[in-house]
Structure 1
Amino acid sequence: MGKGNSFLSEEQKMFLMDYVKTKKLEAFNKVQTETSTGYTGFESASSEDLQLLIDEWVLIDYIDNGFVNDKTPCECGRPLRYQYIVKNNKTDEVKRLGINHFEEHISLKKHVVKQIKKEFDLIEKEVTEISERTNRGWSIDEEINFIPDGYKFNNGHIKKQLEIGLALSTKQVNHLRKEVNQKIALENKATKAFPREAPKVDLFNYEESNNTSSASSLTDVQREKIRDLYSRGVKSPRVISELLIENQIAAGDRYSTGKPKIFPLVCVFLKNIEGVRI
């Protein structure tokens, strides 16, 4: 977080610091997951879920001192303001690094480090935008004309942000607008009454919506594994699909988008278990 945020309350400052930490953990582990698996599309997965798919280094913590502090050094001894704490999934070795030493100390490839830095920069810019909008007296009414009374937010960060008087970033507004419009459209559709109409597979955004017949249902073993993963806190249907494949419980067939063909079945099963966000 940058300087000049004296207009923010302590609660708002703490929220934004936690937001940066959460988003950086997710970004680092998303890039590492995509590098490890060779596939993309893990945007909705949590950092903890992503760690299950990474072969080597995962980001487990992040510290922002607010100033360069010799109590939080890099592995090379250089004092840091921002310290990234990584763990090797194979050896459990833990290292504390500055962002410029990912390549040197944990042998990340240059293009991976470049992508991680790009993701981190976007997060910092988003938080700066939130602060600047808050200072200008931004209001959600300026961006979204109608939010139903008692609206249940899918995104807990956005709900909390609004409750404590923080503005939303452009990215968050776009996400919320899409979410609200989808819910209103679904409610309107429900009132026109086709309760038994089967959901169309294109809700999962597949090009190959007419090719899902290759797997008509989940096996008992697959269902049991999904229940086990869900009970242990793995919520992302994409991560669960990848783990089923990795453990040879499901076939590795994929669509041209890279998503496993078992993915829509996992989504439906998770939704039936307990309102999992897809």
Structure 2
Amino acid sequence: MVKDISFLNEEQKKFLMDYVKTKKVDAFNKVQKVAAIGYEGLENASSENMQLLIDEWVLIDYIDNGFVNNNTPCECGRPLRYQYIVKNNKSGEIKRLGVNHFEKHISLKKHVVKQIKKEFDLIDKEITEISEKTKAKWSIENEISYIPNDYKFNKADNIKKQLDMGLALSARQINYLIKEFNQKILSDNKTVNLPTHEVSNIDVYNYEEKKITSTVYSLSNIQKERIRELYNRGVKNPETICEFLIKNKIAPSHRYSTGKPKIFPSVCIFLENINGS
């Protein structure tokens, strides 16, 4: 966890602690199963299902005291700040360990422990990112330029709850939402054909209600290259791409009276061609 979260309220602190616990339990158990069967297609497996699949030790709980605490020792007696509680699926035995003693006390292989530590480190970095952004008064509008009004957040991932309580989102969560929004826009679109000369007269605010198919023109090779790069990185929202191009002086900043960039229709059409290719 991040060193200082004193600026957060109790609800926010509890949310982040629960978030870390859930993520670390999932990471520990998935790494073990992947190591055991050599199969990585387990991203959507629940923690409960993962525990049923693992033959031996599973992580069932995680404690962060905030400080080194004599009341939460490792099996060897060393006091811990972070205590990992594991259970043997065969015998039912429970052990309480520090992260550096997985190999010693439950005989996990070195490469498995190394991967578990790597996953734990990524989770801790994500929490640090969320906390630092929250402290800096982060706003979702600065990251995502367009959110469908009727988009329904997945209750299972708790992102809506996270936003409602005033916590920032991590880059991983933002990328996930952008992909979700793009998929929704594409699924809601209806295909229409427009003559090339009508492209500049598109009702840009209603673009999400229709798919536009036409010959792409007016974009330079450099602009097309940058759009493809963004698309391949998962950035597929046309408004986000337009603002990126403008901010980096790759496209002119001319806008319609509505505020939409004038390059927006061409970007939309080019994205449709990429998606259909």
Per the normalisation by structure 2, the TM-score is: 0.67
Cα distance between partner residues in 2 of 1:138 and 1:95: 40
1:227-246 alignment runs, 5 A limit = none
Cα distance in 2 for residues equivalent to 1:72 and 1:189: 59
Instruction: Report the residue type matching 1:146 in the other structure.
Output: Y
Matched, 1:49 2:49: yes
Name the structure 1 match of 2:182: 181
Cα distance between partner residues in 2 of 1:118 and 1:188:
41
Q: Pick the structure with greater CA Rg.
A: 2
Decide whether the 8 Å contact of 2:2 with 2:127 is kept in 1.
Answer: no
Q: CA deviation at 1:189?
A: 4.8
The code of the aligned residue for 2:162 comes to Q
Take 1:100 and 1:10, find their aligned partners in 2: how far apart are those partners?
30
- Structure 2 counterpart of 1:174, one-letter code: N
- Whether the 8 Å contact between 1:37 and 1:53 is mirrored in structure 2 is no
Contact 1:144 1:177 in 2 (8 A): yes
The answer for the alignment partner of 2:165 in structure 1 is 164
Greater relative contact order (Cα 8 A, min sep 6): structure 1 or 2?
A: 1
2: distance between equivalents of 1:123 and 1:189?
Answer: 40
| Structure 2: gaps of 5 or more residues | 192-208, 211-277
Which secondary structure state, in structure 2, belongs to the residue aligned with residue 125 of structure 1? helix
- Kindly indicate whether residue 143 of structure 2 is the aligned counterpart of residue 136 of structure 1: no
Q: Quick one: distance in 1 between partners of 2:40 and 2:186?
A: 29
Maintained 8 Å contact 1:36/1:53: no
- Whole-angstrom distance in 1 between the partners of 2:31 and 2:112: 7
Match of 2:101 in 1: 101
Does the 8 Å CA contact 1:134/1:167 hold for their aligned counterparts?
yes
Q: Kindly tell me: are residues 78 and 147 of structure 1, through their superposed partners in 2, closer, same or farther at Cα, counting changes over 3 Å?
A: same
Shift of 1:9: 1.3
Query: By how many angstroms is 1:37 displaced?
Result: 2.1
**Matched residue, 2:125:** 125
Amino acid at match of 1:32: Q
Q: Give the match for residue 23 of structure 2.
A: 23
Q: In percent, how many aligned pairs have the same letter?
A: 73
- Give the distance between the partners of 2:18 and 2:105, measured in 1 at CA: 26
What is the root-mean-square deviation in Å for CA atoms of aligned residues?
Answer: 1.7
Unmatched segments (≥5 aa) in structure 1? 193-278
**Alpha-carbon deviation of 1:188?**
1.3
- Return the alpha-carbon distance in structure 2 between the equivalents of residues 65 and 39 of structure 1: 34
Ranges of 4+ aligned residues in structure 1 off by more than 3 Å? 189-192
What is the aligned partner in structure 2 of residue 62 from structure 1? 62
Matches of 1:4 and 1:37 in 2, distance apart? 39
TM-score by length of structure 1 reads: 0.66
Per-residue CA deviations over 1:151-171 (Å, capped at 9, x if unaligned) read 211253211111101000001
- Seen in structure 2, the aligned counterparts of structure 1 residues 189 and 91 have a Cα distance that, compared at 3 Å, is farther
In the other structure, the counterpart of 1:37 is 37
CA distance in 2, matches of 1:189, 1:80: 58
**Residue of structure 1 equivalent to 2:115:** 115
Q: How many residues align?
A: 193
